[in-house]
């Protein structure tokens, strides 16, 4: 059964993610646990340095005991391109 994992400090985890260098915004964050001891996270992160952000975010998730992570890093440096898509999953930085 899916549930929020009690063993993960969600506030601290999201604060650590937002404090990664070059991160502008974090949104559409979901943390859940499908089975005992296997927390999962999905998140969208807007960054000026996507590769470094993804590496650091993955390290942070592991530090918090997250078993599986899906992190979409949006490259803020590409905003000037006509093909850049603004994420529509923002909910005033609501953590789900």
pLDDT in tens, 19-69: 999 999 999 999 998 788 899 999 999 999 999 999 999 999 999 999 999
Domain count, the chain: 1
Are the C-beta atoms of residues 40 and 33 closer than 8 Å to each other? yes
**pLDDT for 93:** 47
Mind listing the pLDDT tens digit for each residue in 71-81?
999 998 887 77
Answer yes or no: is 39 within a domain: yes
Answer yes or no: is 24 within a domain: yes
Answer yes or no: is 67 within a domain: yes
For residue 56, the domain's CATH number is 3.30.70.1350
**pLDDT for 4:** 79
Answer yes or no: is 87 within a domain: no
- Tell me the three-class secondary structure of the chain, residue by residue: CCECCCCCCHHHHHHHHHCCCCEEEEEEEEEEECCCCCEEEEEEEEECCHHHHHHHHHHHHHHCCCCEEEEEEEEHHHCCCCCCCCCCCCCCCCEC
- Domain span at residue 61 reads 10-77
Answer yes or no: is 66 within a domain: yes
Answer yes or no: is 95 within a domain: no
Answer yes or no: is 73 within a domain: yes
Q: What contacts 90, CB < 8 A, 6 or more positions away? A: 25, 27, 28
Confidence grade of residue 90 (pLDDT, cut at 50, 70, 90): low
Answer yes or no: is 62 within a domain: yes
Enter the pTM of the model.
0.82
Retrieve residue 79's tokens.
Answer: 């905003």
**pLDDT for 94:** 47
């Amino acid at each position: 059964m899916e549930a929020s994992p009690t063993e993960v400090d969600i506030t601290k985890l999201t604060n650590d993610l937002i404090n990664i260098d070059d991160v502008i915004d974090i949104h559409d964050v979901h943390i859940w646990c499908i089975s005992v001891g296997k927390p999962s996270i999905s998140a969208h992160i807007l960054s000026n340095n996507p590769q470094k952000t993804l590496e650091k975010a993955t390290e942070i998730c592991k530090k918090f005991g997250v078993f599986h992570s899906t992190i979409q890093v949006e490259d803020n440096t590409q905003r000037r391109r006509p093909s850049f898509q603004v994420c529509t999953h923002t909910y005033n930085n609501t953590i789900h």
